[in-house]
Structure 1
């Protein structure tokens, strides 16, 4: 086994040595278990997800060595062996925080619990709630919460703040606000950061008045608690200005900014971007100029968003010269333009601005065109995108590979093979080679059209290029192989994804469908077990795949249990789900007419119909011992 001093040597070395070599001095290298990098597929996660070892050295003590061991060995007993039983509470917290893969973090957390010699307190649970929440593993989050209640681990202000944060950022605004309500029930008040998250949650839902009301209540409660006027920090002022700005309350936003300066709080780039945007949207161009001067005075450099706002603002007011000037400054600063001039959902305006800039001689490359074309493509307005491409070429502006990628991907999305390949040919004609991005677009196109040979050749090429095929195109290949019952080829792609740590829920679901389709039932159940163990059963497709597997194998109870889990998880049952349930009902004594009536109810009233189906399934709760069939009560 690697000794702690040997691991420490590894962690302090800029180039990590082979563990067996590092342990030659201690003559115990023969006891080292088979070396399997924890970041390989055996460990369940990808090395791409690990943090930089340079940071680890700052912790001191045994932490760097432990983190290296966790990167080196998949088996946790092997990784922790030199320190087992001697890890402090703080060290356990750091170890969990440093995990970037939720599965690995959960494995370590469970290892601590199962050892029995480590006390896990609310801080450790908070760390895990954050990791699992950021990974959107909601079932695990709820299970952890129930575990805290069972073990009488009292949630803290930070616990509720973490839950509000992860649910809000995960798009579950209603659940985030329910956690806020639970927090208040426990007599706790949100801190400044949690307050900002709640305000942002209301804003995402377009409820600006509620956001303002919540802020005022929070502020008032804080004042009452301290019996003094509250002085806010930078984060609070930024939140407040943004809230007023989104609600169109210019005066209130300006007053908050003025109060901020009065209290000596230096604005950051977030503050400036927000107040410039608010002022510009309300036609206060002189105020915008003043704000830019203030940025210079306090040496706060504009970022990409600042220039985006300024260019869009002046373009709206037909001041193309000023807009183009900021565009040039942006490029001089080495910043990469993104959505400038695309005018959000109105790329027609963006195209108009580009034409005006072109007429004024202010366009020297294809970047402004590419931004507007990107927006046209995303909105499905491919004719306008092509027109702009033709205009650009006519003006003598040469397209780059990004322009070609936009058009090839757009036509691939809608399955237009001829158009996509025309742009591929044009691109090759001017000397550009295929890159991984374009290969991924073509794979998507070929698999959609069922062009097996072309898809295989392009996928092989993509694997030889930097970046390689992405998860989506790999899943497309698995899907295509499933359609053609090509097991070996599908398994090769699936294994490739697993080794990279990129196998998704869709990847597993497709492999399950393939194995079931060709009668490899044992392999199908192995995939099903892996999906459950990895928490990869969240989508309707996955639930349907499992229900179909259980139904076809006569395992009605497992199918019904899976359906209940589906409903509880919030995944929406579809026509396929109910067709499978009808098969189960009929198999266990229900008439076809009864199943058809249930479907008719669902077609006429989705909510009531789903409820009727759930009741019918729940009614199948008594097993006739003699006939071994389910009896509907």
Structure 2
């Protein structure tokens, strides 16, 4: 997004006319043509309006249950009249999508008695930013100036937040430059937002420098490549007073692997009289545990309870993850039970960790109890757990149970190609090609093309079962099904055929692979060379080896060196 600053007002503008788009690189329409383009005129039932103004709860219920875009303007104006600014704020915040929010906001703005204020604009800007409606956001940013509403720290913090979460980190940081042009020094919330953006971008040192410069009362914009900085209008240092600020800094140090700095920041927080919250302790527990300081993490849980800060589900999820990484099944089970004992609910992460541990340990009965518990609570098994559970059954030789589980929890469900392929691979690894095939074709009813990874796993299953004709037939059908083979497909099939000494077909596929623009790996060439050597056709092996060199694929490692020596030895013998 190319942004330019107006010297007089400091508001952003672009040089050419604009048209509406969700892309930040496209331009937006004039304000007069904006509303019709986002209003659906499909007629629906219109709520009856009594002469008595509705109470705020009643109004919110009516607005939530009605398609506002179908209501005549007069009716909507009647609903929204006689509200205080605070009530208007509540109404705006309650809107479930950006279109309805703008519709309500525009009706407020059309009222003669309406006084524009930054809070309402901030709500609109946040909703548009979350929806990535950058051009509509620009329209209301410009309109904000026309209404005589000056941006506040909250406005800039909102813009920095939504731009960064929308993937526009550079544009998010540019708002700092605009703040300087307006003479608005970041408050603690805005500063914390900037540090969080830099942390999430992996710029840990820059985030720390920005925080320290804010504490000194002079922000150095050159830290984030935005030019010279600016100072506050008074000479005193800033001290963070919010738990959120310390939480961001502690997390920054943790992600940077700086355990001591995170610990020092936590101590400084306590010394400064800023009360830590559950997020603070969760972050510290995770940092300590990830750095191998499990006993320190456990002592933090005790301190947390001593300060009467209730652990949440995430607290125990962290400990479950830490115990699982150390193979401590009892610790994982203890934390899982503790969540329910103190009146909390297991979430997706809790279930994923416990099932992963139980399935890896082949604790079938316990895993089934957890599954039953999840379903009894009205939940659903996380799709990442499905391949893990299937693998547990297969490894234990319980193929019938695996089939029943698939029918009950997998069949007909929307599952990502990655996890669906993992389901097939669990069978393929054990040579259960027919079961893998059943899973593969069970998905054919879904209205989408199979992903290449699913085909590659099925080819692998056929290869392990030495069903080469089935593998070749599947390969030939891929293009007709709208999924062309990739590099992995060719490599898998060529190495499979070489193992079956079908060298002519493997060599043909090697040519097809190169014609398709793929570069065979050293292992693929080596498989064909080894196949020729095994059948005594050394001259063919030498020919393929020279082709490998001509393709720019160099032999790799000691194994390749031994292969070269073996080729020349066999060549001498046959000469």
TM range (shorter): 0.5 to 0.7
Matched, 1:124 2:120: yes
Q: Where do residues 227-626 of structure 1 align in structure 2 (5 Å cutoff)? A: 227=236, 230-333=239-342, 334-340=344-350, 354-356=359-361, 358=363, 365-367=369-371, 374-375=383-384, 386-391=390-395, 394=398, 404-406=408-410, 409=413, 413=417, 445-448=445-448
Q: Structure 2, unaligned stretches of length 5 or more?
A: 1-39, 48-52, 219-230, 375-379, 428-440, 451-575
1:253–1:275: 8 Å Cα contact kept in structure 2?
yes
CA contact (8 A) 2:282 2:315 kept: yes
| Alpha-carbon displacement from aligned partner over 1:548-567 (angstroms, at most 9, x marks no partner) | xxxxxxxxxxxxxxxxxxxx
Q: Is the 8 A contact 1:161 1:194 kept in 2?
A: yes
Give unpaired runs (5+ residues) of structure 1: 1-39, 48-59, 424-440, 451-633
Counterpart of 1:336 in 2: which secondary structure?
Answer: coil
The reply on whether 1:204 has 2:214 as its aligned counterpart is no
| Matched residue, 1:611 | none
Contact 2:217–2:238 under 8 Å retained in 1: no
Q: CA deviation at 1:398?
A: 9.0
SS at match of 1:448: coil
1:136 aligns with one of 132, 155, 169: 132
Task: Quote the offset at 1:313 in angstroms.
Answer: 1.1
Q: 2:78 aligns with which of 69, 76, 81?
A: 81
2:384–2:419: 8 Å Cα contact kept in structure 1? Answer: no
CA RMSD, 1 decimal: 4.6
What's the TM-score, normalizing by structure 1? 0.49
Q: Structure 2 CA distance, aligned partners of 1:326 and 1:247?
A: 28
Does the 8 Å CA contact 2:216/2:238 hold for their aligned counterparts?
A: no
Number of the residue aligned with 2:155: 159
Q: Distance in 1 between matches of 2:312 and 2:404?
A: 25
- Conserved 8 A contact 2:253-2:259: yes
Higher RCO (C-alpha 8 Å, min separation 6): 1
Deviation at 1:259, TM superposition (A): 1.9
SS at match of 1:339: helix
Classify 1:195/1:82 alpha carbon distance in 2 versus 1 (closer, same or farther; 3 Å).
Answer: closer
SS class of match (2:310)? coil
Partners of 2:333 and 2:419 lie apart in 1 by 37
1:148 partnered with 2:148: no
Deviations 1:129-162 (A, max 9, x none): 1222233322211111122344553222221111
In structure 1, how many angstroms separate the alpha carbons of the residues matched to 2:298 and 2:184? 43
Question: Separation in 2 of the partners of 1:416 and 1:229?
Answer: 53
Query: Which digits, 9 at most, give the CA deviation of each residue in 1:452-487, with x for residues without a partner?
Result: xxxxxxxxxxxxxxxxxxxxxxxxxxxxxxxxxxxx
Distance across 2 between alignment mates of 1:92 and 1:43: 26
How many residue pairs align between the two structures? 368
- Structure 2 distance, partners of 1:284, 1:200, is 25
Distance 1:374 1:66, change over 3 A: closer
- Provide the C-alpha distance between the structure 2 equivalents of 1:148 and 1:110, rounded to a whole number of angstroms: 12
For residues 301-326 of structure 1, what are the alpha-carbon distances to aligned partners after superposition, in whole Å with 9 as ceiling and x for unaligned?
A: 33222222112212222333323322
Sort the Cα spacing of 1:162 and 1:256 in 2 relative to 1 into closer, same or farther, 3 A.
same
Q: CA deviation at 1:184?
A: 2.7
Aligned pairs for 1:86-125 (under 5 A) are 86-115=82-111, 118-125=114-121
Q: 1:181 Cα deviation (Å)?
A: 2.6
- Contact 1:412 1:442 (C-alpha < 8 Å) held by counterparts: no
Contact map agreement 1:392 1:398 (CA 8 A) in 2 = no
Residues 196, 236 of structure 1: 8 Å contact kept: yes
